[in-house]
């Protein structure tokens, strides 16, 4: 029946500081590390010339490398090897170097040998006892001196590399801090972009809703436009018939144009007197009238117009002339005949047409008053 034991070689710096131990195959790697550290420490403590060693439990390597420290050493294939390192001095965080320890140990051995060479009697006695030739010891000494010199250079190089690594480590730390700051800035920028993107998405959704509403409104407007076109066509046809009927009588046309002139004059006079239009002016006088009769209301309007036109600084001279002529004001403000179709004529009669209708009057008084009103309305001669 095969043995359930495993040999583990524990390494520390030099070959002579190795230790082999026999462990149960059921132990885990973590347990084997603990057993190995105890065994190598005990081994180092009994060796002559080796100072007390404090091992670093955080710097222990195991080969073959296990998946984790919970696997049993029975499951590991090949020779089992464990490498331990001394604990770094207080205040340092560098991983110890067994190679440097070995070099320093070799240097100590060379120096011890040189000290022995300085003791001549002992050397001679050793030569006699060993029956060795002096030349062999000299060659050995030179070899050790050359080895010491080479080891010294290696140590210097290692120290220089260590210093360079420290400087590089400082630079790396600065780079890491800078990268951390840059990363923090990038994270802030990413968050800002996310907020902006969320706002844009909300805006896009709002635009989509607005677009849907506009499409619906546009469809309704198209329907309304079709209806308006139909209504305009019917109104145009009706207006054409009305205009043709009106234009059939030249006398009626002249009367309508004069009525239009009177209506335009009333509107302008109402504005000059500080009112919105003729209707508003008439309603305001009706509200303060005691009798409420139309004649009295219009008479009060004539009196107001005479005062305003006399004192106004903005009214034209033509309108001031209207205010000085009581008969003209009476014709403009009091009721007159020919009111039918006035609005139709207002859309078809030009200044020239109205001027012709005014000059066509045969009654001298009416003609004079209408000319005065024409000048005030159009600020021009008929």
pLDDT (tens digit, 9 = 90+) per residue, 211-231? 888 888 878 778 877 877 887
pLDDT bin (cut points 50, 70, 90) of residue 325 is very high
pLDDT bin (cut points 50, 70, 90) of residue 274 is very high
Average of pLDDT values for 329-350?
64
pLDDT bin (cut points 50, 70, 90) of residue 364 is confident
Q: 277 and 271 in contact (C-beta within 8 Å)?
A: yes
β partners of residue 24:
5
- Could you give the percent of the chain with pLDDT greater than 90? 23
Using the CB atoms, write b or e for 94-115: b if 16+ within 10 Å: eebebeebbbeeebeebeeeee
131 vs 34: which has the higher pLDDT: 34
Q: 372 and 262 in contact (C-beta within 8 Å)?
A: no
Q: Shortest CA distance to 261 belongs to which of 340, 377, 343, 361?
A: 377
Q: How many CB atoms lie within 10 A of CB 282?
A: 18
pLDDT for position 73: 93
Q: 342 and 335 in contact (C-beta within 8 Å)?
A: no
Average of pLDDT values for 354-373?
86
Chain position carrying tokens 């000085």: 324
pLDDT for position 39: 92
- Could you give the percent of the chain with pLDDT greater than 70? 76
pLDDT bin (cut points 50, 70, 90) of residue 168 is confident
Helix (H) or strand (E) holding 381: none
pLDDT bin (cut points 50, 70, 90) of residue 35 is very high
Summarize pLDDT for 86-113 with one digit per residue, the tens: 877 666 554 445 544 555 565 566 566 6
As a whole number of angstroms, the distance between CA 207 and CA 201 comes to 10
172 vs 25: which has the higher pLDDT: 25
Average of pLDDT values for 228-249?
66
Of the listed ranges 49-53, 54-58, 221-225, 365-369, the least confidently predicted one is 49-53
Q: Is 376 exposed, middle or buried (0-12, 13-18, 19+ CB in 10 A)?
A: buried
Sign, CA torsion 343/346/347/349: positive
168 vs 43: which has the higher pLDDT: 43
pLDDT for position 232: 76
pLDDT for 21 beyond 80: yes
pLDDT for position 102: 52
pLDDT bin (cut points 50, 70, 90) of residue 339 is very low
pLDDT bin (cut points 50, 70, 90) of residue 22 is very high
pLDDT for position 16: 67
Summarize pLDDT for 251-272 with one digit per residue, the tens: 767 777 788 888 899 999 999 9
pLDDT for 2 beyond 70: no
């Amino acid at each position: 029946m095969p043995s359930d034991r495993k040999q583990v070689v524990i390494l520390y710096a030099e070959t002579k500081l190795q230790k082999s131990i026999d462990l149960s195959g059921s132990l885990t790697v973590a347990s084997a590390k603990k057993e190995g550290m105890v065994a190598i420490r005990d081994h180092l403590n009994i060796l002559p010339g080796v100072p007390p060693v404090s091992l670093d439990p955080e710097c222990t390597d195991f080969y073959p490398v296990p998946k984790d420290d919970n696997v049993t050493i029975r499951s590991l294939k090949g020779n089992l090897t464990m490498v331990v390192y001394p604990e770094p001095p207080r205040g340092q965080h560098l991983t110890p170097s067994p190679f440097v320890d070995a070099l320093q140990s070799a240097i100590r051995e060379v120096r011890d040998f040189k000290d022995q060479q300085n003791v001549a009697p002992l050397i001679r006695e050793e030569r006699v006892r060993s029956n060795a030739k002096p030349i062999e010891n000299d060659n050995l000494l030179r070899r050790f001196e050359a080895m010491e010199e080479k080891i010294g250079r290696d140590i210097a190089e290692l120290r220089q590399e260590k210093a360079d690594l420290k400087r590089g480590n400082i630079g790396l730390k600065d780079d890491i801090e800078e990268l951390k700051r840059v990363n923090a800035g990038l994270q802030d920028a990413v968050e800002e972009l996310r907020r902006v993107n969320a706002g844009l998405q909300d805006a896009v959704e709002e635009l989509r809703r607005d677009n849907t509403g506009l499409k619906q409104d546009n469809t309704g407007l198209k329907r309304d436009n079709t209806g308006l076109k139909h209504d305009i066509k019917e109104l145009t046809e009706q207006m054409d018939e009305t205009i043709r009927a009106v234009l059939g009588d030249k006398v009626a046309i002249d009367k309508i144009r004069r009525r239009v002139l009177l209506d335009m004059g009333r509107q302008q006079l109402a504005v000059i007197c500080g009112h919105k239009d003729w209707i508003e002016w008439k309603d305001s006088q009706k509200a303060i009238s005691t009798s409420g009769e139309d004649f009295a209301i219009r008479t009060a309007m004539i009196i107001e117009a005479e005062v305003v036109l006399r004192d106004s600084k903005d009214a034209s001279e033509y309108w001031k002339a209207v205010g000085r002529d009581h008969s003209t004001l009476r014709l403009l403000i009091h009721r007159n005949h020919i009111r039918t179709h006035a609005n139709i004529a207002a859309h078809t009669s030009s200044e020239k047409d109205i001027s012709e209708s005014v000059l066509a009057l045969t009654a001298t008084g009416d003609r004079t008053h209408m000319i005065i009103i024409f000048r005030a309305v159009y600020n021009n001669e008929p």
